[in-house]
Amino acid sequence: MTDTSLGKQMHSLATMMFPICRSITGNGVRQTLNILKEEIPLVIYEVPSGTKVFDWEVPKEWNIREAYIKNSTGEKIVDFKNCNLHVLNYSTPINKKISLEELKKHLSSLPDHPDWIPYRTSYYKEDWGFCISHNQLQNLTEDTYDVCIDSTLTQGHLTYGECFIPGELSDEVLISAHVCHPSLPNDNLAGISVVTYLAKELLKSKPRYSYRFLFIPGTIGAITWLSINELHTHRIKHGLVASLLGDPGTFTYKRSRRGDTEIDTIVETVLKSRNPDNKIIEFFPYGYDERQFCSPGFNLAVGCLSRTPFGQYAEYHTSADNLEFIKAEILEDSYNTYLEIVRVLEANKKFLNTNPKCEPQLGKRGLYSLKGGDNDAKEFQLALLWVLNLSDGEHSLLDISKRANMKFESIRFAASKLEECDLLKEARKNWT
Ligand code: ZN
C-alpha cells in the first residue's frame, strides 16, 4: 500500500462522516462513532442528561429531523437537507409563520464572505435560528415566511467513544479529538480520521505505552470524561488534543500548561526537524479540550497539535470548510507527524550504563568498527560515548540527543547497539 493511498483512505473516512449532523449530544455523534467502530475497537459510552459533572451538568439530548424556511408560494428557500450548517446547532423546535422583520432576528450570515454559510451554535441558551449566505439574506423580500425546525431537546444522553490499546506499561498516552461539529471537514473530521488511523497503526503490535483515544464532544465531553475517570487520570503521562489537521497551513503546537513536559519537548523536536516554519506557542486557557485536561486540578501533560490554529483561516466555521478544503496529502502529512511523535515517545527510554566506572572498552566488543546507520563511524562513536556517559537512569535518549546536539535517531541507534552488548539496560518502572 502506498503512502498516498493512506491519505486517500483518511479522506474517504472524512467523506463518510461529512453528511452527518453532529452536535454535543444526539444521534449524529452515535452515527459517527458507529462509523469509527468499523475501523477500530471503540467502546461507546452513554451518560444520562442531568448527570452532574464537576460544575456542569450533562445537557439535554438534541436531535433534528428536518428544518426549512418556505416563502408564501411554498418554495423552500432554505433547506437543512442541503446543508446542515443552515440550522443554528441545538436550535429549539419551531413551526410558525413570521414576517421578514421577525425572521431576520433569527438569521446569521457573513458579510465578508457573502457566498458562505456560517456555523453557529447555541448550546447553553435555548434559542432557534438559521444560517444563510449573505447574498441570500440581502435578496430576501417582504413576505410571510413559514419556518420549521423539527428538532427535539429532551432527557437523553451524552455519547462518547473510547479506544484503549494496552501496552507494556500502565502509563498512558491520551489522544483526544472532538466529534461535536456538523459538516466541517477540517474541524474536526480531519483530526478524527488522523487519530483513527494512528490507532489502527498502533494496534498492529503491542506498544510500550498504553494508548487511550477519546472521541468526545468538545468541552462538555472532556469535562464529563474527566469527571467519570477522575481516579484514573494519574496514569496519563502524556497527551495530545488533535484538531484542525487537514488545512494546508504549517503546524502549530500549543504547549501543555506545565510547558516543559516530555511530550512538549518531543513535539517541539519533531516539528522543528520536519519543517522550520512549524510554530510552538505557550499554553493559554482557551481553545480545545486542553483547557480541561490542563485545568489546575488535573494539570496533565497534554498539549494541542493542529495545523493553522482556530480562527486564523478564513474558512474556519463556515461552509467553505468543505471536502475540497482538506487534502489527502495533507491528512497524510498530519498522520506522519503524529506517528513520528509517537515513535519518538515510544523510543525515548532511560537507560543505565552497566559499566559506569570509567569507559568500557568498545573495541573488543566490535563497536568501534561499526557504522551507525546513515552516520559515519566517527559520529557513531561519539553517540556511543554520549549515551554511555549520560545513561544514569535520569536522562532520556531525547535529553542525551539535545545535550550532545545530535539527531535523536543517531542516539537511539547507538543505544540499541550498546544494549545488544549488555553495556546498557533499561531503567524500568511502572510495568503492567
Ligand atoms: Zn470549531
Domain map (residue ranges) of the chain: 5-59+157-347, 63-154, 350-426
**Average pLDDT of the chain to the nearest whole number:** 96
Query: Identity (one letter) of the amino acid at 100?
Result: L
The CA 315 to ligand 1 mean position distance, Å, reads 11
Q: How far is the CA of 260 from the centre of ligand 1 (A)?
A: 27
**233: buried, middle or exposed (CB in 10 Å: 19+, 13-18, 0-12)?**
middle
Q: What distance in angstroms lies between residue 392's CA and the mean position of ligand 1's atoms?
A: 45
- Ligand 1 mean position, distance from CA 306 (Å): 12
Q: How far apart are the CA of 308 and the centre of ligand 1, in A?
A: 12
Q: Is the pLDDT of residue 33 over 60?
A: yes
Q: Tell me the fold of 350-426.
A: Arc Repressor Mutant, subunit A (1.10.10)
Distance 163 CA to ligand 1 centre (A): 23
Cα(115) to centroid(ligand 1), Å: 20
Q: How much distance in Å is there from the Cα of 317 to the middle of ligand 1? A: 6
Q: Please determine, for residue 372, whether its predicted confidence score (pLDDT) is greater than 90.
A: no
Q: Is the pTM value of this prediction over 0.85?
A: yes
Check residue 428 and give its pLDDT: 76
Q: What is the tens place of the pLDDT at every residue in 151-195?
A: 999 999 999 999 999 999 999 999 999 999 999 999 999 999 999
186 C-alpha to ligand 1 centroid (Å): 9
Output the CA 255–ligand 1 centroid distance in Å.
19
Q: What is the CA radius of gyration of the chain?
A: 25
Q: In which band, very low, low, confident or very high, does the pLDDT at 378 lie, cut at 50, 70 and 90?
A: confident
CA 106 to centroid of ligand 1, rounded, Å: 21
Cα 153 to averaged position of ligand 1 atoms, centre (Å)? 22
Q: What is residue 370's predicted lDDT score, i.e. its pLDDT?
A: 64
Q: pLDDT tens digit string along 305-318?
A: 999 999 999 999 99
Closest CA to 161 of 197, 225, 214, 236: 214
| Residues 65, 95: Cα–Cα separation, whole Å | 13
60: CA distance to ligand 1 center in Å?
21
Look at residue 1 in the predicted model and tell me its pLDDT. 47
pLDDT tens by residue, 39-55: 999 999 999 999 999 99
pLDDT for residue 373 is more than 70: no
Render pLDDT for 200-249 as a digit per residue (tens, 0 to 9).
999 999 999 999 999 999 999 999 999 999 999 999 999 999 999 999 99
In angstroms, what is the span from residue 202 Cα to ligand 1's centroid? 27
Exposure class string for 370-381: b at 16+ Cβ within 10 A, else e: bebeebeeebbb
Contact indicator for 92, 59 with CB cutoff of 8 Å: no
**pLDDT above 50 (res 17):** yes
Buried b (16+ CB within 10 A) or exposed e, 25-50: bbbbbbbbbebbeebbebeeeebebe
Superfamily of domain 63-154: Domain of unknown function DUF2172 (3.50.30.90)
- Main-chain dihedrals φ then ψ at residue 393, nearest 5 degrees: 85, -10
Q: What is the spatial distance between Cα 309 and Cα 342, in angstroms, rounded to a whole number?
A: 22
Specify the pLDDT at position 371.
Answer: 59
pLDDT digits (tens, 9 = 90+) for 283-301: 999 999 999 999 999 999 9
- DSSP code of 188? I
Q: Which three cell numbers stand for residue 280?
A: 510552538
Half-sphere exposure for 245 (CA within 13 Å, toward CB) = 33
Ligand 1 centroid to 18 CA: how many Å?
15
Q: Is the pLDDT of residue 337 over 80?
A: yes
pLDDT of 374? 53
Q: What backbone phi and psi angles, to 5 degrees, belong to 149?
A: -125, 110
Q: How far apart are CA 158 and CA 227, in angstroms?
A: 13
CA of 283 to the centre of ligand 1 (A): 18
- Range 360-365 average pLDDT: 91
Query: Given this model, what pLDDT does residue 346 score?
Result: 98
Average pLDDT of span 140-154? 98
Fold agreement (5-59+157-347, 63-154): no
Q: How far is the CA of 141 from the centre of ligand 1 (A)?
A: 32
Partners of 236 in the β-ladder: 172
To which CATH superfamily is domain 5-59+157-347 assigned?
Answer: Zn peptidases (3.40.630.10)
